[in-house]
Structure 1
Amino acid sequence: MNSRNLRRIAILTAAASTSALVLAGCAGGGGGSSSGDSNEPITLTVTTFGTMGFDDLYKQYETDNPNITIKATNIDTGGNAQTDWQTKQAAGSGLPDVQAVEEGWLSKVMLVSDSFVDLKDYGANDIKDRWVDWKVKQATDSKGRIIGYGTDIGPEGLCYNSKLFAAAGLPTDREAVAEYFGGDNATWDKFFEIGKAYHDKTGKAWYDQSGFVWNSMVNQLPEGYYKADGTLNVKDNADLKARWDLLAQGAADGLSSNQTQWDWGKGKAFTDGSFATFVCPGWMLGVVKGQVEAAGGSTADGWDFANVFPGGAANWGGSFLTVPTTSKHPKEAAALAAWLTDKESQVATFAAAGTFPSVTAAQTDPGVTGQNDLTKFFNEAPIGEILGKRAVGVVAQYKGPDDATIQEQVFGPSIQQLDSGKADGETAWNNAMTLLDQLVVNK
């Protein structure tokens, strides 16, 4: 999800109960009812990260496949999951039967794609039309092997606190908010302009910290830290630098609350008025809800979700389920991965965690477009409908092998310098370029 090495908040996100699931087909066709040619008891290990909403599905799968036991491990963030995978991949042992891979480090996985099962051997060609086409392309290696089944995608909308907006004289109705920010023509310039006016009037920050805003800005570009041909695209990148300058000015204007990523004081910053807006891909909605509730808050705290995003369509996040070739049960593992990513399962994970489906039929299912615990929390916002609209125009950005490193270790320290006031925009950018040379270019 880039979820970029995200989602430490799994334990804070309350999972909604999932509905009864319609089971389909055989293992070769992606169904979950077949466990292979034998009823011999087996254990399938699964490693995920963050908040994927699979817990109830594991139980359902075990019920419908009595000979299968699922041993699931969930790692707090995508970054830590990447480290875990790389360590075990290098050792050649310890990998699970089903490994979740985040889009931010998918390119590293593709460098060793032969160490993952070609899911076409287990029916991937028969079910590949279930996903948006770019999701399948992301998981297809240079040899044409499909090594992953898509879970979610991350179209972005704007979370905002209606109580804080009202106190500052800003519109609060979500349609009026979308129009106020520019609707389909919303820009980052307008976002920061409104934020400065909000800060000048209230003395409060506009967003939690600059890292997530920067991540969204980068993901939105046709090409981010890498060009489509795989070459680095950071130095002398005018689009990146222009957005960095906006971000730096925003920090200088006091728009960042300088929160610690994935901390927020155990959710308190979401309930005490520390900031008024939050960039929200679908899966982040569950994060907001979990953080508010962890701090003792509720829907009464006023968080809402608008169908608008500065700069237009953007995608942040999205994962895949893969099967390492070290699996002793590749057929059964592939069947489980296919079932966890079919329409009914993606509807269920959306209800549990807000992860917007990459399966097209699931995107318009009433279980996604209708009411659930998330919609109730966000002031009855039609979350599924909004995310469906926000997904229009999204194009997958190529993520190079060091994409996550650049985001976290190259720009991360400089973003903290901006938020803390320890460096101006130009100095912080130059510091990032120095780290780029040390960590990526000359490694």
Structure 2
Amino acid sequence: MSKNKKIAILGGGESGVGTAILALKQGYDVFVSDFGKIKDKYKAELEKLGVSWEEAGHTEAKIMDASVVMKSPGIPDNAALVIKIKEQGIPVISEIEFAAEYTSAKIIGITGSNGKTTITKWIYHILKNSGLNVSMAGNVGDSFAKQVAGNPVDYFVLELSSFQLDGIVDFRPDIAVLANITPDHLDRYNYNLDEYVASKFRITKNQTEDDFFIYDADDEIISKWLKANSVKAQMIPFSLQKKLEMGAYLEDNNIKINLNNTQFIMPNSALALEGKHNIKNAMAASTVSQLLRIRKETIRASMENFQGVEHRLEKVLKINNVMYVNDSKATNTNATYYALESMESETVWIVGGVDKGNVYSELLPLVNEKVKAIICLGVDNSKIFEAFGNCVDTIVETNSMKEAVGMAYKFAERGNTVLLSPACASFDLFENYEDRGRQFKDSVRNL
């Protein structure tokens, strides 16, 4: 087989195996290489496919023989092997870039520092309820490549991280949503916010005048970028702060969306999810639905009966009149800001993990107002002690979820809330944020 049909896949996880499935279907000679261990379920899939693979190290000669390399999103661009591949002139792309070439489906792409999972699932929920042939991929569900290989649909709703967008060349969503931008993953962007912002805006870089770009007009970082740069797509803002001639805004406790000389109106009290951030999430999801000309009745019903996202302000149990809330998906301070803002009672806050360059000062007013005790759950909690040590009477360190929940049970009184909203990544003590959230729920149920 000629070199022009060889693909090397770095990473044997969900996106890597999905790419292997699609690449094989497209006639590529496929080699999967993982520096760590490949999970048994993915090994079994690769074996079934008859794909050549390796783990616990890379055979560079085989990788350098490829015409294209797909890099899983968890591998940084500055990894020595990635730099070497690029120096050889071999394209290094993301799964999203590779898979998009092989589908004619309309693509709705959603990115942002916070809220992108909720918006993605909400859009999918509306489209599904309207009877469209739609699937959801990216950071949620089965990989995009795997679904392109075996699941022909008319619409894809893709949740896209900055890491996935870093590896695109020609990828172009028909509708792009940029929910918000706050400092996150700065450890991957040389602690340079501008690099991270540029990464997020890659979602619109290949869009044309026929495409749509939906964005938060209240977000200062987004507004600043848009003043200095141009976007080809038709721009549709949403806002809680200003009335818009075109776009979505809030007026008299109603969400109003003006598009194509038609108006959609819905009381925000009817939304399935609480909190100001979810009004914005609803605006983004319903704007997409309006562009796709989905019936207003379907949009309203789907806004009201959406179930929300696991590990995102998820009410777990009420014990002794204390509500336990799982917000493990809050892996940065902005997500935690939304969580604390939505608390209506005195709160015992469980926080901590792997800090990605957090600045905690924005949380100080909310912590002063709402938090009665802080329970640190991480290997290094020094920044949390430094930021909040003078705000609360009680701040303690714990080494396991069971211990943290036990402490919270001790500190919480009737009418209080216990909130797990870590503002940090989970990799010091947990496999991922899902594992952290599940351990929280298990520990609460075992009280």
TM-score range, shorter chain: under 0.3
TM score, norm. by length of structure 2: 0.27
| Higher share in helix | 1
TM score, norm. by length of structure 1: 0.27
Greater Rg, structure 1 or structure 2?
2
